[in-house]
A and B are shown apart, each in its own frame.
Chain A
């Protein structure tokens, strides 16, 4: 049993479930406490060795192989294993994997690699030698094998939205950390103006000794945020990153409205990396900024002196009229307009790009061709509009 367990641990590691010695010890303790009744054994091993939901299918498969259900199969396995044990090589090397064992096991193996699938990419990479020449080819040579850090420096057109979604939880964590950094300016001031009233009141509890000084909190501007996000295919990835970050910043604003558009604006909601439009959003349409601006300016109270307007788009208008005057009027109504263009600056105003028509009316116009540039541009954008 000990030997079988040992080999099972090795096999788990070979398949990317990094069970540490502490964890395998836990597993051994658990078994000595509970015995080896099959379903209990499975539960005990699972709870002590597998610490990610995504690893469970792999574990299940390997468990089936190493601790098969029917006693008949068990005997067969024993016979099969014994020559190997007596050879004195101390069990299989971690890199040895299941390949080259029995035929039945061989057949079972490819499905394990399929199971590992997309979200376990990093572990698959770490498990390295065992999957040599097999897993890397099986997986698409895309983002999947990279962590969030390498994605940040790649130009937007080379990143697939689908791939970003798999990194969503990490991305959102990054966004929240970013939002927290902006927010802490307001949350806990440690300098600035002294709040005399609160300082005095605190001191009363300590017999009039002013131990702690209360500082006045900085109040954020009473700003309303309006975000326009081009969702057409060419800039979809950039929009995705942008939305993730700006959505995390909502607490900084009194009110916030998010619109997605291709040719008409539709109010959107962005949760868990998915855009939920409140109406019909035709992603197949051709971008039309002019039509967008016309329909936005129709609403009399949407823009005010408190409005900060953020636009993400490449201003590629499919040769339609840019409605420069409408944009000028909207920009005049707003407190500030920030335009983020995910296209490289050399390509601005080439072809059907009309960014030049809008540029004079923007408070800030920035180029952001990679996620890192986009994130880097945000603090500057916020301070330029007085937030």
Chain B
């Protein structure tokens, strides 16, 4: 049983996810008070990874629902297994079974295809349910989620109401592609997950790329921080910073002044215009990142 936010932080740290103070409190509250956690923030700040790490740290199964335009309840919740039902009907016809018996049979859980939301409800152990990029789903689906998140139950007309054995820990992520409704926000705890500070990023790099030289690690964290201040199409994510640190290590680059560094920028920036912008003023950016250190 986790009694304090610090315990949760330690557990998350043990699976390699370092968190800011706000994050540990929000997550702890969501866990203890059984409320969904809505996480917003820039792409690549570690929103999805939070849910994945939570499932690892707590030993819960992770169930993931990726949202997209046109997602509906047959893909999110449940669907009857028509094929199996038909086969059952045919075999029962041969036996000459009574219709009441058949009906009871074919509308039972054995003929239900469980989609992520239902699976999270019926799981015997507690789960982490990740509803990823909920802003991509339609408004109708969001309205449907309200009922699910409020009561943690689902009613299936032919069968009845299915209640959660164990309330799942629900994490919703959003990139703010559109504004989510007030109603959904009200039902959740809210966490704005921004890019990590230089210190936190340095620590993340220490945990994830332990072999990297300490001075270089510091430098990488500052440089990535500097890039995120620029006007770019897409800012480098935490995962990309880790990848970059790994590539520097693999190439045996000891300091960022190394001429080969410029060729590794593709790991951080996945857009040709961004690449042009950054490699164009690479030296000045490097010296700028030193200043970040001093301030």
Contact = CB atoms under 8 A, between A and B. Distances in A.
A216 B161 CA distance: 37
A207 B82 contact: no
A211 B25 contact: no
B163 interface: no
B92 to A, nearest CB: 13
A51 B185 contact: yes
Given A33-B32, A46-B22, A47-B26, A26 B189 contact: yes
Interface stretch (B56-64, B173-181, B237-245, B251-259): B173-181
B29 A48 contact: yes
A29 B33 contact: yes
B293 to A, nearest CB: 26
A106 to B, nearest CB: 29
A178 to B, nearest CB: 12
Given A43-B22, A44-B29, A207-B86, A51 B178 contact: no
A56 interface: yes
B182 interface: yes
A363 interface: no
Interface stretch (A138-146, A169-177, A223-231, A291-299): A169-177
A42 to B, nearest CB: 8
Nearest to B187: A22
Q: Which of A18, A169, A206, A212 has the most CB of B within 10 A?
A: A206
B69 interface: yes
A180 B29 contact: no
A171 B38 CA distance: 23
B189 A211 contact: no
B179 A51 contact: no
B29 A30 contact: yes
Contact of A50 (B83, B86, B178, B190): B190
Nearest to B27: A47
Given A47-B22, A169-B178, A211 B82 contact: yes
Contacts of B233: 271, 276
A170 B185 contact: no
Contact of A47 (B83, B177, B178, B191): B191
A53 interface: yes
Q: Which of A30, A47, A48, A53 has the most CB of B within 10 A?
A: A47
B82 A53 contact: no
Given A52-B185, A173-B178, A47 B86 contact: no
A154 to B, nearest CB: 21
Nearest to B85: A206
Interface size band for A: 35 or more
Interface size band for B: 35 or more
B33 A33 contact: yes
A206 B5 CA distance: 54
B17 to A, nearest CB: 17
Interface string B14-45: 00000001101110110011010010100000
B186 A51 contact: yes
B278 to A, nearest CB: 16
Contacts of B189: 26, 47-48
Interface string B186-202: 11111110000000000
Contacts of A205: 83, 86
Contact of B82 (A26, A169, A206): A206
Contacts of A43: 21-22, 24-26
A51 B190 contact: yes
A172 B192 contact: no
B273 interface: yes
A20 B186 contact: yes
B87 interface: yes
Contacts of B186: 20, 22-23, 51
A206 B87 contact: yes
Nearest to A20: B186
B14 to A, nearest CB: 21
B276 to A, nearest CB: 11
Contact of B38 (A40, A51, A211, A276): A51
B183 to A, nearest CB: 10
Contacts of B73: none
B29 A39 contact: no
A209 interface: yes
Interface string A46-64: 1110111100100000000
A276 B273 contact: yes
Given A20-B186, A169-B178, A40 B25 contact: yes
Contacts of A34: 5, 25, 28-29
Contacts of A52: 185, 190
A52 to B, nearest CB: 7
Nearest to A56: B192
A23 B186 CA distance: 7
Interface of B: 5, 21-22, 24-26, 28-29, 32-33, 35, 38, 40, 69-70, 82-83, 86-87, 90, 176-179, 182, 185-192, 233, 273
